[in-house]
Amino acid sequence: MLKIHILFAVIVVLLILSVLLVNGIALRLSERFHLQFDLTTNAAFSIGDDTRALLEALDKPVEIYVLSDEGGFSGSRYMIQAQRIISQYPLFSHMVSLEYVDYAANPAFAVNYPGLSLSHGDVIIQSGERIHQIHAANLFHFARTPDGDLTIVASRAEEAVTSGFLNVISEDRARVALLTGNGAADGTLFVSLLADNNYDVYPVSLTALDLEGFDVALLFSPTIDLTEEALRTLEAFLYNEGLYRKILFYSASAEQTAMPNLDMFLSEWGVAFSEGAVFETSAERTYQFQPFYPTVEYTVGRYADMLRDPSMPFLMPVAKPMELLFIARDGRYVETLLSFSETSGVRPAGADSGFTAEDAERRGPMPALVVSSIGATASDGAQLRSSFIVSASTGIFDGIALHNTSVTNGEYLLNLMSDLLGREPVVNIQPTALADRTLGITSAQAATLGVVLVGVVPLVILSTGVAVWFFRRGQ
């Protein structure tokens, strides 16, 4: 009997030691390899294929510094998700290192970054001399509750960190001039999107317009007419002394009034605007039952094909009616990229409250986004081209469009800019929502779903109950 007890004790000890050994090995392996499985429906706690491909191709060391201890990312599932995402970067590349830093207790660390304003939770990404700072708040998307409080609605941890990697390792960085003054919109969200995707954006005043060294110029719905001198500077920018390869991006707004100088400049490039606002009468082509928030059609296949999901719409809110004056003239070629549907119309400026869709004098299809190009063929046969992109709406840069995972605005615009500049396609990562998923559906789909859930399903249940009652009564 004693021998049996001793044997049993030895077996128990061996089992305990085996468990400890296996756990130790698993812990060491998990520090070097990705051994976790993400069972969430949208893989919210795993980095995506684009990020993995970037990490696998990494050929230079990149350091990630998180200004917090590891326990600082807790209490909120979004904070836990952000930490989980960040922790995976070194697992997919031996060129990446990750370190948590208590910078308040380590003043020597802050000395290395004298030009940065460091805060708790910030993420510093560094490769050589190039540094990219991500403020903790920029790891998330926020929205206001009905009570007016800010709450996290989506995580952009992977988007922000991967964009930071691109910023510190990429040598292909375009310079963008954001034209300011004359009541122009600032396009803050679009500027941030460009900055996260290897574009260096600088404000440039329209009153002292100097575009030397820039690749792209942005002009968002000015409300005060531009001077002839400024417009000739923009034209010279596009010609670039015969070298071309420049982009001017202009967006209009339904709130703009007539501006003779700017209107003349646009007409020289084959585009004209009239006053009013574009609306949509087809429910399936509106966003959340709002007729002045129409979705538009892709009229050029190559840009639609670049999208990960071409079935998703592009949102064109509160657009100003546009028309093309010519397709080709004086070496300039105009192409419609996005178009309002045949069921769209125009509400004239100043129309009274009794205006209805049937009163519209102008109807679709109408251009929504066009590109007017000019160029030449170089001596080596290369095609040189400058592009003037014109949008009927500045609303395409609003949060409802750029941060909306149900539409393609951000992805489409980045692909368009990259293609026209001859750059590699961008790594576009969608924000991740951990809350109950919001259905990204059109107004028509929402109405159909309502009829099914409110009418059809209860009717089927009632009919089934009646049938069962009659069946059991007949027995």
Residue 114: the pLDDT is: 85
Q: pLDDT digits over 63-102, tens only? A: 999 998 887 777 778 888 889 999 999 999 999 999 999 8
Domain 174-421 has CATH 3.40.50.880: yes
Helix, strand or coil, per DSSP, at residue 23: helix
- Cα(460)–Cα(466) distance, integer angstroms: 10
Q: What is the pLDDT of residue 267?
A: 96
Q: pLDDT value at position 317?
A: 95
Per-residue model confidence as pLDDT tens digits over 301-314: 889 998 888 889 99
The beta-strand segments (E) located in 281-365 are 286-287, 290-298, 314-315, 322-324, 328-329, 332-340, 344-347
By CB atoms closer than 10 A (0-12, 13-18, 19+), residue 160 is: buried
pLDDT value at residue 309: 85
> Mean pLDDT per segment of 10 residues, for the chain of length 475 residues?
61 65 54 47 71 89 91 79 91 92 82 85 91 87 73 82 87 90 93 86 94 96 96 96 95 93 97 95 89 94 88 94 95 96 93 87 94 87 91 94 86 93 70 55 62 72 70 64
Report strand pairing: 332-340 vs 328-329: antiparallel
Give the model's pLDDT for residue 23. Answer: 58
Closest C-alpha among 219, 236, 211, 212 to residue 181: 219
What gap in Å lies between CA 315 and CA 310, rounded to an integer? Answer: 13
DSSP symbols for 226-243: PPHHHHHHHHHHHHGGGT
Tokens standing for residue 348: 């004239």
The beta-strand segments (E) located in 156-261 are 174-180, 199-205, 216-220, 247-251
Distance in angstroms (rounded) separating the CA atoms of residues 252 and 184: 10
Domain ranges of the chain: 49-155, 174-421
Radius of gyration of the chain (CA): 28
Cis geometry, peptide bond prior to residue 365 (ω within 30 degrees of 0): yes
HSE-CB for 347 with a 13 A CA cutoff: 19
Residue where the block lists tokens 């109405």: 447
Q: What count of Cα atoms within 13 Å lies in the side-chain half-sphere of residue 37?
A: 1
33-50 per-residue burial string, b: 16 or more CB within 10 A, e: under 16: eeeeeeeeeeebbbbbeb
Retrieve residue 13's tokens: 């000890």
Distance CA 316, CA 334 (A): 20
Please tell me whether residue 431 adopts helix, strand or coil conformation: coil
Q: Assign domain 49-155 to a CATH class.
A: alpha beta
* Rounded CA separation 242/440 (Å): 45
d(CA 173, CA 62): 18
- Residue 316 CA to residue 299 CA, distance in Å, equals 14
C-alpha separations of 447 from 237, 295, 357, 457 in Å: 49, 17, 20, 14
DSSP 3-state assignment of 159? helix
Q: Is residue 355 a contact partner of residue 372, using CB atoms and an 8 Å limit?
A: no
Tokens for 93? 């590349």
Report the Cα 421 to chain-centroid distance in Å: 19
Please name every residue paired with 143 in a beta bridge, in sequence order, or none if there are none: 151
Q: Which residues pair with 314 in a beta bridge?
A: 296
